[in-house]
Amino acid sequence: MKKAFRLWRTPPIRTDEGGSLSDRLEGKFAAGPIKDKRNQNIFLYKCVSVHRRSTTHAEPDTLGVSRAGELFHTALQLLKDRAKQKYKRTFTASDLLTWENVALLAELSQCPDPAGPDLCEQSRHNKYRTISGVCNNRQNPRWGAANSALVRWLPAEYEDGEGEPKGWNRERLHNGFQLPPPRRVSREIIRSSCKWREDDYSQLLVDWGQYIDHDITFTPQSIRSAAFWTDVDCYKTCENVHPCFPIETEESLCMSFRRSSPDCFVASGPDLQQVLQRQQLNAITSYIDASLVYGHMPQLEGTFRDLPGLNGKLAINDRFKEQNGRSFLPFVAKIPSACRTDQQGERVECFSAGDSRVNEVLALIALHTLWLREHNRIADTLKLINDHWSPEIIYQETRKIVGALHQIITMRDYVPKIIGLESFERFVGPYRGYDPTVDASASNVFATAAFRFGHGTIPPILSRLNASFQEHEQYPHLRMHESFFSPWRIVKEGGIEPTLRGMIGTAAPTLHANSLLVEEVTERLVVLDTHQNMDLASLNLQRGRDHGLPGYNKWRDFCGLTQIKTLDDLSEAVGDAGVAEKILSLYKHPDNIDVWLGGLVENFLPRSRVGPLFACLIGKQMKSIRDGDRFWWEADGVFTQQQRNELLKASLSRVICDNSDIEEIPPDSFRFRKYPADYVNCSEIPSMSLEAWREEKSRDLQGCGLPKPIKNGDFIFSSKSGKLTALYSCYHGFKLEGAAEIVCEGNQWSNEAPRCARE
């Protein structure tokens, strides 16, 4: 077919054209084919050029990568549509293009170049992890890095083999049946009133799951809110036209839904069709590295730091403090912001943190605030202990400690409670050191299905408790939807303590197959960029189809579990024959069951919060994140043995004690305990000693003195060559002029300090 098919000659493109994108593109196609490769490439160039001018987002980092990916995949779709019109049959992009064409299209779309090992030769990638995760793995620099594709553990299943989601062609049959609309599944199976019971775990366990998920995955939606072909607004159409993939509702209406941003072509392989399959972006690093505190790109990181203070600390809110003087998160730069606000008194804007989802619920704001304060608390102490450290060293060492605490709390205290000790030993196991052959990237099924198990444990009520862990007299409990995007409730309603006590002192709801998601998130979910209440269950199901996730049975097979073939099989897996019958009556065939729903309804394993499928998928992901991280806290050379011993004393309870007014707490705040019998005073909670980070001045440093500080940049120390070396770098937006490294030799530094000039 590649020999028979030719692309069409296109006239010059004017920059002042009007009309819709589809009109402008159709005007570019002439009737006759052309025969030479040069003109074929000219078509690709003009096809991308037209679409590039039709988008308005040209911002860096994630928006830039998303924009390039959408250009690339839109051009592929244009080619397929035009070929279908001309030859009256369906084509895949791999039918029409050669590897050379694809490489050119990627270049014209401005897809990022593949990163090779030579990128990681610079010394700055040795001592501290990069903010973007690049070069954590030296041989595969993009593994686990921000703005790279979610990895596939099983091949994607798209209706056209390349990018159309399941359910895109609504009359299409899957195993002989149409897929049930996600909203119908939500209404008939998932919607419920929450059923409570006394539980071993506190609400904090649920909230930590959401928090740490925001450290690992963030899949951005399409940067466009209008359809590529017709410019129809995705918020107003019920038609499936890229990137709009609306969710049907019972009232012959629809719920708006935009597809996830695609990744660009960056790989090669023997199967061109598989290489051209649509993959989704992870906008943040896949590592547990506290990126939700510090950001995931250099430009972001700089906005969160208190650079003028020359103290290695993070910036704090300059308008509000708690009554006791403790800091709040800073506000976003662009105001007025989209967050809700109290109608009385001074306006409170959205908070700003390393992850943009910080304002979603009060629990996230409280946890983000804790870690802002913890960073600044540690930085203050390190500055006292090591007065010869530069602000950059203080910042990087503090960031390294905070990242380690996130790893320990998650892997030691959180994950075993979620998947059970038996599954933890089976799928994660003991740490045996860094393995450079392990790809730590987040998998598509983990981000889109398995780690969304926690949506079934969201309570309808957000508890706010007083110092006696009773309902707060001034700030009573809230319906969950009343807490969405409401940072003003933290500033004006008692700070983070009422919310934190509610997280610690309230039992987490328990998931049942006949009681999955509460109506607060299936009927009243607030999303800032829409004017209608959304349904979290429908969004999850539609997102899985958008990503082409294989069905529940395929993933059971992947994990070595028996496949579901009959109603009896499903009833056994679910533990509720009535729910199993409802599911099969909707899906008609076991292979059609969406993986998120199938995993969610499974019987819990003993002493866990998930069934066998999600235990497998979560366990495998956590193992790869740990083993594929060169900077994992237990890896050789990351911390000294004395420092590791101190880190092991840390706990989330201790972080809460050190950074709030809470004075009594359970030793393990993830476990629900009765107040006051099972609470202890904060003085009884072990604390790590930062004395383990004391570093005496070396003889060389005493002889040479401190290196000269520079404006808009700083230095860290290294001894990689056996000699004391100061490594200089500039803050984002500046470039280094002069020697990046100066060496202490003969009681003097080898060169003058460099300078940082604006880029």
Residues 6+ apart with CB under 8 A from 440: 136, 137, 143, 144, 286, 287, 624, 625, 627, 628, 629
8-state DSSP, 676: T
- For residue 627, what pLDDT is reported? 98
What single string gives the DSSP state of each residue in 144-169?
A: T-TTEEPB-SS----TTSSSPPTTSS
Q: Taking residues 583-606, what's their average pLDDT? A: 95
8-state DSSP, 143: T
With CA atoms as reference, report the closest residue to 324 among 659, 689, 71, 665: 659
Q: Taking residues 546-571, what's their average pLDDT? A: 97
- For residue 203, what pLDDT is reported? 93
Q: Which two tokens stand for residue 370?
A: 């804790």
- For residue 566, what pLDDT is reported? 96
Question: Containing H/E element for 415?
Answer: helix 415-419
Is the per-residue pLDDT at 582 higher than 60? yes
Q: What phi, psi does 591 have (nearest 5°)?
A: -70, -15
Distance set, CA 343 to CA 55, 81, 351, 528 (Å): 36, 51, 18, 18
End-to-end CA distance of the chain: 49
In residues, how long is the chain?
759
CATH architecture group of domain 699-758:
Ribbon (2.10)
- Of the candidate ranges 93-107, 277-291, 639-653, 687-701, the one whose mean pLDDT is the lowest: 93-107
625 vs 93, more confident: 625
CB 555 within 8 A of CB 597: no
- For residue 455, what pLDDT is reported? 72
Q: Which two tokens stand for residue 410?
A: 């998650």
- For residue 234, what pLDDT is reported? 86
What single string gives the DSSP state of each residue in 330-393?
A: PBPSSSS-SS---SSSS----B--SSTTTTSSHHHHHHHHHHHHHHHHHHHHHHHH-TTS-HHH
Q: Examine the residue annotation and report whether 174 is marked as an active-site residue of this protein.
A: no
Residue boundaries of the structural domains of the chain: 1-111, 699-758
Distance set, CA 99 to CA 1, 93, 252, 468 (Å): 14, 11, 44, 67
Instruction: Name residue, tokens 């009007």.
Output: 18
With CA atoms as reference, report the closest residue to 451 among 215, 288, 284, 213: 213
Dump pLDDT digits (tens) for 250-309: 766 888 899 999 998 766 667 788 788 999 999 999 999 999 999 999 999 999 999 999
Is the per-residue pLDDT at 10 higher than 50? no
* CA dihedral sign of residues 133, 136, 137, 141: positive
- For residue 37, what pLDDT is reported? 46
- For residue 386, what pLDDT is reported? 97
446 three-class SS: helix
Is the per-residue pLDDT at 698 higher than 70? yes
- For residue 235, what pLDDT is reported? 83
Q: Which pLDDT band holds residue 219 (cuts at 50, 70, 90)?
A: very high
Q: What is the mean pLDDT of the chain?
A: 86
Residues 6+ apart with CB under 8 A from 325: none
Distance between CA atoms of 294 and 383, rounded to whole angstroms? Answer: 19
Q: Which pLDDT band holds residue 124 (cuts at 50, 70, 90)?
A: low
pTM attached to this predicted model: 0.90
Instruction: Name residue, tokens 């308005």.
Output: 56
* 44-58, 80-94, 133-147, 514-528: which is most confident: 133-147
Strands 517-518 and 748-749, bridge-based pairing: unpaired
CB 649 within 8 A of CB 688: yes
Q: Taking residues 94-110, what's their average pLDDT? A: 88
Dump pLDDT digits (tens) for 726-742: 999 999 999 999 999 99
Q: Taking residues 641-645, what's their average pLDDT? A: 98
Dump pLDDT digits (tens) for 12-24: 222 233 333 333 3
Distance between CA atoms of 529 and 516, rounded to whole angstroms? Answer: 26
Q: What phi, psi does 285 have (nearest 5°)?
A: -70, 145
Q: Is 469 left (phi over 0), alpha (psi -120 to 50) or beta?
A: left
Is the per-residue pLDDT at 536 higher than 80? yes
Q: Which two tokens stand for residue 681?
A: 């005073």
Distance between CA atoms of 509 and 502, rounded to whole angstroms? Answer: 13
Q: Which pLDDT band holds residue 56 (cuts at 50, 70, 90)?
A: very low
Q: Taking residues 355-378, what's their average pLDDT? A: 96
- For residue 323, what pLDDT is reported? 85
Annotated binding site for heme b: 455
- For residue 273, what pLDDT is reported? 80
Q: Is 712 left (phi over 0), alpha (psi -120 to 50) or beta?
A: left
CB 281 within 8 A of CB 148: yes
- For residue 629, what pLDDT is reported? 98
Choosing from 51, 214, 296, 368, which is the catalytic residue? Answer: 214
Q: Which two tokens stand for residue 71?
A: 């250009």
Q: What is the dihedral of CA 183, 185, 187, 188, to 10 degrees?
A: 160
User: Based on C-alpha coordinates, what's the Rg of the chain?
Assistant: 27
* 35-39, 334-338, 362-366, 480-484: which is most confident: 362-366
Q: Which pLDDT band holds residue 721 (cuts at 50, 70, 90)?
A: confident
Annotated binding site: 455
- Of the candidate ranges 329-343, 564-578, 580-594, the one whose mean pLDDT is the lowest: 329-343
Dump pLDDT digits (tens) for 598-608: 999 999 999 99
Q: What count of other Cβ atoms lies within 10 Å of the Cβ of residue 274? A: 15
Dump pLDDT digits (tens) for 434-471: 999 999 999 999 999 999 987 777 777 889 999 999 99
| CA geometry: angle 39, 40, 43, nearest 5 deg | 85
- For residue 5, what pLDDT is reported? 32
- For residue 63, what pLDDT is reported? 86
Strands 741-745 and 680-681, bridge-based pairing: unpaired
Dump pLDDT digits (tens) for 377-415: 999 999 999 999 999 999 999 999 999 999 999 999 999
Q: How far is CA 390 from the centre of its chain?
A: 31
CB 536 within 8 A of CB 473: no
Q: Which two tokens stand for residue 214?
A: 């925001």
With CA atoms as reference, report the closest residue to 715 among 730, 728, 725, 705: 728
- For residue 226, what pLDDT is reported? 73
